Structure 1
Amino acid sequence: MIDDSAGHGHADGSGRPLPLPGSEELQTLRLPARHEKLYNFLYERRSNPPTMREIRAFVAAEEGEAPAQTDRRVRDLRGLFHIKTVRNRRDHCYLLAGLKGSELTGIRKPISIRLRAQILSPQRCAQCGKTPLDHGVLLAVDHKVPFKWGGSDDANNLQPLCEECNAGKKDYYATYVQYADEIRAAANRDEPLRRIGELLKAFNGGWVPSDLLGAVASMMQYQEDWQKRLRELRALDWVVNSKRQTDPTTGRSFAYYRVETWQPWPGGGIAAEIKRRERLKRIK
């Protein structure tokens, strides 16, 4: 049982109350029927927030919906409501805490059929390599950088994952939920090198998976050589280490990076400062 004053007070920090299920205020938000049913479930469970497993079970029993669709509806509701991720024993729970401000954007539009077909066209999971024809897996469109962390619906931030890899990634990324604000801030930086550096700093010396680094580096514009940008941090006297780790289930090897020491960003442009230091080294 979790006692959270925001849930019992029906308001977030800005003082906007949660609309009652079936109320006129809720109707003005024009939630699709399935989203409204999910909202009602979360509202009734504010004093005992459900886990994602419980949410999926509820929706499956009511609508027969696949887990990936349910996860997307939870993300959709976060465009309108504050839904906190809290800990209860060993599980992550989802607490409906309040209504967002007057700048509401409404329910996020689903990915278009055309874009979905484009992302799934390789017909192969980007992580384990399994295919629907050879292995009978179901593929889903995955956000490399989660939407709630500032990830976009652009093609550069999307990839095909099988349901098993997609679920495993969500569980893995859930371990970094406390860094969500920092990751979102890093993804919104103008320069790719600054995005990479801020993401490394956000993990407080912890190991950052290379796929997340690459995706954040490419948030504003695709960066084919983001590893070169990463190496350039050393020119600014940053100490960045790397390691490779093999997934015992797939046999695939993945790269991870962490920053041991970092320095303040230069006052001018980062690229200009790196070139200046490289010229000084050549002169010496």
Structure 2
Amino acid sequence: MRILIWHVRGAWTTAFVHGRHDYLLPAGPDRGPDGQGRSGICEWPAAARQVAIEELADEEVDVVVLQRPHEVELAEKWLGGRRPGRDVPAVYLEHDTPAGGIPDTPHPMAGGGVPIVHVTGFNDLVWDCAGTPTIVIEHGIVDPGRRYTGDIERAGMVVNDPVRRGRSVGADLLPALAAGVGADVFGVRVEQLPAHRGLRTYESPTQPDLHDHLPRRRVYVHLNRWTSLGISLIEAMHLGMPVVALATAETPLAVPHEAGYVTTRRDEIVPAVRHLMKDPDVAEEAGLIGRRHARRRYGLDRFLDEWDDVLRTVVAGTAP
């Protein structure tokens, strides 16, 4: 199967392109958001092939995986007039929680004739898709292996664009965490964070570098209030890190209590991290429990098999 897909979310796409198909990734001369091509920081197989935008009209495409509403128009233009959902089979992948009023936010693709895949059951629950067929396919991870050492007695986090995203990713909770236990934040545009005592930032490491350096931190902390389930959290659990997380959205189902600490109380975050920091044996055992859970629930084979089932039905015209 030849699948047209945009490089929108590097971590999710890394798992997806490890499947059994050919993946066509539009590449523009400026490598902008609509034409990033292959990832420069993730490890992707050769089957993930970038194609110049001007060459897409000559490509045979079996199915389009859409991730942003405007990609419908882009695909029709770039595929020589073939419109997703009409002339070529398509499915829409929703990564995010709604940004508007809950639970009444209408999904932008509702009623568009293209089935919607949600990455969590919570997302499927809170979006108003107005009767459009929906499917839930939870995340899958290319297992990086257990690498946890915890030899750096600090909290580790991965947050992209924390200043712009603000409270949704818990940026306002960072100063207390950094002052209380020390926090190392990895990700895109983390250098924009204001300086705080105990805070260190590491700008946009490659995925292999992140998997080497993150698990040296004693505890992984996930402060997201209102986002979809972060793949970085699942990766941290695969790495064997104990977790302290906010009990919001899908997180309570993703992180068993034995894997660390899940809470809705801001005054419990720093004490929970301190507890794991002062007892490395407890931290290591929590990380092992989290890794076992993450491998069962977010394994790559299950993820790819479920996507194959959906793509086959969409191409065959038998999707719900």
TM over 0.5: no
Shorter-chain TM-score range? under 0.3
More helix by share: 1
TM-score, normalization: structure 2? 0.23
**Which has the higher Rg, Structure 1 or Structure 2?**
1
